[in-house]
Structure 1
Amino acid sequence: MSKPVRSIAVAVVVAASLTSAPAAVAADSEAPAATATTATTSADAFYTYDGSTPLSAYAPGSVLKTRTLRYHVVGIPTPVTAIQLLYRTTDAQGRPSANVTTVVRSLVGDGSKAVSYQSFYDSLDPEDGPSRAIAGNVSLGGLIPNAEALFIAPLLVKGYDVVIPDTEGQRADFAAGPEYGTNTLDSIRAATRSPHTGLGSGTRFGLMGYSGGAIATGWAAALAPRYAPDVNSRLVGFAEGGLLVAPAHNLKYVDGSLTWSGVIPMAIIGVARSYEIDLKKYMSSYGLEVYAKLEHASIADALGRYPGLTWKKMAKPEYADPNSVPEFVAAVNKVNLGSAATPTVPGLIAQGNAGVLEGTFTSPPGIGTGDGVMVAGDVRALARQYCATGNSAVSYDQYDLLSHFGAPVVWAPTALSWLDDRFAGRPAPSDCGRIPAGNSLAPEKPAPLS
């Protein structure tokens, strides 16, 4: 059996075994016992910072609350212990905020190495966050982080402690890349500052995430040198796949798609929420109807639900071109990863390029092909940009026969093997000079009203 196949097999066996051994929920001295009932409602007090000291008085990464419980898979408690932390971080607009992360200790690790695993839960509903799924919540959108036990199990088997942040924050700011990044970096800070996790200042970290998790991974790697140099100094590298780079391109790419067009209203809602702008005033009556239906939806609700949906159908006639909406242009430029700094640690970037299999039947001029939702030309351009701006330790894999759904099967074991090598101190390979050309990642420009 090959290493990649064996890794996947181990993950399936471990994740399956976790669900077969119910265990009582434990609690530490800082918080009341958490149960599947108390931990699964938005009213759960653990998620609210209620201290008398202003949140702004705490440094990013400060631990505000702690609780210990059993790791749940689809609502079933397992023997695996999880430590959840409420910590101080920074939102998309640079304001102090509180967020939750989960630390899962390896049974064979010593606390010296950990992986920050960023989930691809992609939701506009805070109830779908990985911390809630781990605490026992069962929801349609929450099935995604439940399924990701298949990715987390092999990390634990190999001796890595795993940190799993709620990357979207407590408002579910879908696709707000900079906030994903700060939530991830401050999660690492919190995990190493808590006396309950077994992690500390000497723990080295790798970043890992696919799709929505790649948004968080990519932004965390890019922001770390300036936002969290203390974390950056302990990063061994970042491994990401199915990456969102320039969201304005992705909206054009999925426009009219049979499968992925539901991402259009999700992105509109996420941008509006993250930056507190009113985009409803530009929507048609049909657009407002779709907006209302998906305002608290997950990607599981949106996929395939609106086949053939376009921006034009959602907008008033005079706003048929999304670039005619100035607030939208300003927001998508803020979440363009191509405008962020170059990471200073090694990176593995992977991208599928068989999107036609998932319903993308045309490629808009200047956009090119992709995996059905992510644009391969954008990802290549980002990798080349990193190489050109000082990071020669960039590897790029393009899976021309795999779509967004198929690529993780190859990416996950590859990413794990790549991270193993970085923790072992082996020199990072480089594809710089061999990565094909990609798209322009220049900021979007406002367009006149039609």
Structure 2
Amino acid sequence: MAAIFPLPDGDGFYFAPPNVGDFQPGDVIRSRPMSAPAYPGATAWQLLFRSTNSADAPIAAVTTLLLPAGGGGDRPLVSYQPFVNSLGMECAPSHSIFNGSMQESPALNLLLARGWAVAVPDHLGPTSAYGAARLGGRLTLDGIRAVKRFAPAGLAGSPVGMAGYSGGGMATGFAAALAPEYAPELPIVGVAMGGVPVNIGKLARDVGSRPSPLFGLGFAAAVGLEREYPSQLSMERILKPAGFALRSQIANACATQIIDAGANKSLDDVFTVPMDTDPTTVRVLHDNSLETFAGVPRAPLYQWHGAADQVSPQLAQEVAGRYCHSGTPVLFEPIPGADHGTAIALGAPRAYGYLADRFAGIPAPSNC
């Protein structure tokens, strides 16, 4: 059995046209206005844009744009990457923003209240390739390009900030690290990311070596990477019957369903041998982990992490240190006593204040 892909989205807006390769990365293919009563006073659009997958093939992806009252006018633009952590297409931010299932909706309203435009990309892409963080970085950058090229938004001259937590922080971090080469024209003035798993292989090992309530998320990341690298990764060689069953069970699931399905399982329950014994798998994991990715952000960076986080704060701080030594202004703040679930709310106000200072042109602080 090859990689299991999700059921396609039933909405034709998401479909890539046959000539998607004729567009440039970030070009808008189609657009539509949306009703957004959960965001009072905001105008909402969805844009289908061209991007590129991990095999360098053209793909189409969606970003959702929220404009505060008063329209564009080159106001600050924040690309916010939610922690989707899912494998089903119906879980994408472009759906959850409007059906009330996005847990981070209050954050979007906080950004809009500052007068900022907000872009929310479906950073897992058209196959919901959870775990493919480098793809998420490309989609984030191309989504920003699309919003700035979308004339009705009036954001062509807007300064750009990026923000995200956990899985959204992975996409944010990769966008920042890719930007100097992939999208050097974007005026990114600041990046804020928290709770970032900077090495997904090590995280999978940490949560899978013994029964864990969050094992399903690590297993789902393997499923997502198999989707994004179908010619390189094949889980079927090493899956036990329980592994095949779990992969089928979560193929179209959102985060809560994935967590419930995989709760208190371990690697030994689903794999015959460890995935990290295969050199190709290790290379794919390294390509999608900030710790082992050579790119360095050049935009100023604020990074926060719960000091009691199950996702290693030490690894996150080491990556921040590498960026510091490369000349990037980095402010790294541990949140005392906070774990992965509580650190987001504790660090977010500081993150948004950090972006506000960057938009205001205040020199970036650093504690390198």
TM surpasses 0.5? yes
Task: Trace 1:417-428 onto structure 2 (pairs within 5 A).
Answer: 417-428=353-364
* Structure 1 counterpart of 2:221: 267
Task: Trace 1:155-304 onto structure 2 (pairs within 5 A).
Answer: 155-200=111-156, 202-231=157-186, 234-255=187-208, 256-276=210-230, 277-304=233-260
Task: Trace 1:3-402 onto structure 2 (pairs within 5 A).
Answer: 42-50=9-17, 54-71=19-36, 73=38, 80-108=42-70, 110-134=73-97, 136-137=98-99, 143=101, 145=102, 147-200=103-156, 202-231=157-186, 234-255=187-208, 256-276=210-230, 277-316=233-272, 319=273, 321-338=274-291, 339-354=293-308, 371-372=309-310, 374-391=311-328, 393-402=329-338
Percent identity, aligned pairs only? 32
Q: Structure 1, unaligned stretches of length 5 or more?
A: 1-40, 355-370, 433-450
**Separation (CA, whole Å) in 1 of partners of 2:131 and 2:211:** 19
Please identify, of 167-176 and 325-334, the stretch whose mean Cα deviation from structure 2 is larger: 325-334
SS of the residue corresponding to residue 303 of structure 1 reads helix
Question: Partner letter of residue 357 of structure 2?
Answer: D
8 Å Cα contact 2:249/2:261 also seen in 1? no
Deviations 1:64-111 (A, max 9, x none): 0010011254xxx96532111100011122211000011111115633
Deviations 1:320-351 (A, max 9, x none): x3322333222111112122311011000111
Aligned length: 356
| Structure number with higher relative contact order (C-alpha < 8 Å, ≥ 6 residues apart) | 2
Q: 1:410 to 1:129 in 2, by over 3 A?
A: same
Question: Partner letter of residue 93 of structure 2?
Answer: P
With structure 1 as the length reference, what TM-score do the two structures score? 0.76
8 Å Cα contact 1:70/1:78 also seen in 2? no
**Separation (CA, whole Å) in 1 of partners of 2:350 and 2:59:** 35
**Separation (CA, whole Å) in 1 of partners of 2:81 and 2:162:** 8
8 Å Cα contact 2:226/2:235 also seen in 1? yes
**Separation (CA, whole Å) in 1 of partners of 2:205 and 2:21:** 39
8 Å Cα contact 2:29/2:49 also seen in 1? yes
Q: 1:284 to 1:251 in 2, by over 3 A?
A: same
**Separation (CA, whole Å) in 2 of partners of 1:262 and 1:72:** 33
Q: Structure 2, unaligned stretches of length 5 or more?
A: 1-7
**Separation (CA, whole Å) in 2 of partners of 1:265 and 1:401:** 28
* Structure 1 counterpart of 2:345: 409
Larger Rg: 1
